[in-house]
Every structure is written in structure tokens, then in C-alpha cells.
Amino acid sequence: MVRVESDMKEKIVPNMEPLFLSYERHKCLCGFLTMQHFSSEDFAKELRYLPEDNRFYHGLCYLGLYQNIGVDDFSAWLDNARSAISALAEACGLEFENNVEKELYAWGLAARSFPFDEWHSAFPVDEEVLHSFMEMQIDTKEKVWAFYNVGTAALDKMEFTRGEQRDASLFIQFMKKTLDAKTNYETLKKIHYDMEKGGIVYGE
């Protein structure tokens, strides 16, 4: 009996503060979803959990994993996405070709993670912005991901816009380019949430 008590005493240690590991591991993702600012230094910690190849692309997929269904202001959400893209790019050491490229990623992330209705009625059809995206070469994984997410939202919004308010030429051109991106998008290996496994899948 004495021996058992001695063994038990050796296994008793001071209690520590609770470790909220899931939050610490996904702090920036939580920050994005709740519209809280985070820095590139903060995101650098989460990059460790992403595949090492093309971490900017994987970071985009990661930030686009969930939606906050309580959000209803796309303009504010787009600003939130711009801030997240800046932090992600800096953490990855990525320099954008120009501001249009940065905007494509921000719009893509915002479109991916905003809780639209089935008509994407909250999506603002900014023809100047869409034309600038049309002129880009969609030649990387991150550009394909972002353009396809913008394209699907923009086309659904334009589809349900009255004819006299819709630029038919832009609609047709954007549909063609989105369909071209769709083929590549469907072959992308993306970080995603697996409903069957009940968690985030970082690999295949």
C-alpha cells in the first residue's frame, strides 16, 4: 500500500494553464473569419502546418476553408480579405506582379468565404475590376483558384441581373475564361475540409 502511494506521489505535478491548442494552431484562420487583424509574423506560425511547396497557394485554400454566416457586408469582407492576403504574402515572401494580382487574390478569397445566397446577390459587379482580371494570364495555381472563385460568383450575379443592366460582352468573355479556369481548378490539390473525416485535410 505504501509503495502504491509512493508511485502515485511521483506522478503528481503542478497544474499548468489550459492549452487551447486548436486555437493556437488556427489563430489566423479564426482571426480572418472574425475580421480580426493578424500580422505576417502571426501567420508564419501557421505556415508550418501547410505543405511546403507553394505555401502562398496553400495559404489561400486554408483561409478559404470556412464561412462566417453572420457576415452580410461584402465590401467590409473584401477589405478583411485584402488584409489577410497582405499578411499571407509577406509571410511567404511573395511580391505581387502588380496591384491587380493582389486584388485578384483578395476578391477570390472574399468570394470563396462570403455566405452568398444562391444568386450571389451581394456580389458587386465592378466591371472595371472584372476587366482587369480578364486581362491577366491565369497561369499559376493561386491565380486559377482565385479567378475561378471570382468567376463563379460574378457570373451568377450577372446571370440574374436585368438585361439592360448587364454588359453582355463582359458576361460572355468572363464565362469563357471561367470555363477555361474550371478545367484547371478541378485538378488542383486543395487543402479542404473533409466531411467524412470531420477535419481539415492538408494532403490529398
List, for residues 79-117, the tens digit of each pLDDT value.
999 999 999 999 999 999 999 999 999 999 999 999 999
Amino acid present at 64: G
Looking at the domain assignment, is residue 65 inside a domain?
A: yes
SS3 state of residue 199: strand
Binning pLDDT at 50, 70 and 90, where does residue 127 land?
A: very high
Tell me: pLDDT of 20 over 50.
no
Is residue 185 predicted with pLDDT exceeding 80?
A: yes
Residue 112 falls inside a structural domain: yes
Give residue 33's domain range.
21-189
Q: How confident is the model at residue 161 (pLDDT cuts 50, 70, 90)?
A: confident
Question: 185 lies in a domain?
Answer: yes
Per-residue pLDDT band at 21 (split at 50, 70, 90): very low
- Cell numbers 500580422 label which residue? 39
Task: Report d(CA 150, CA 170) in Å as an integer.
Answer: 14
Q: Is residue 103 part of a domain?
A: yes
195 within some domain? no
Angle (nearest 5°) at CA 137 between 131 and 142: 100
- Beta carbons of 147 and 138 less than 8 angstroms apart: yes
Q: DSSP state, 52?
A: S
pLDDT band at 23 (very low <50, low <70, confident <90, very high): low
Q: How many domains does the chain have?
A: 1
CA distances from 136 to 14, 46, 131, 132, 147 (A): 59, 30, 9, 7, 10
Q: Is the pLDDT of residue 204 over 60?
A: no
Report how far residue 155's alpha carbon sits from residue 98's, in angstroms, rounded to the nearest whole number.
25
Tell me which amino acid residue 115 is: P
Q: Which three cell numbers stand for residue 91?
A: 509571410
Residue 202 located in a structural domain: no
Residue 7 lies in a domain: no
- Given a cut of 50, is residue 12 above it in pLDDT? yes
pTM summary value: 0.86
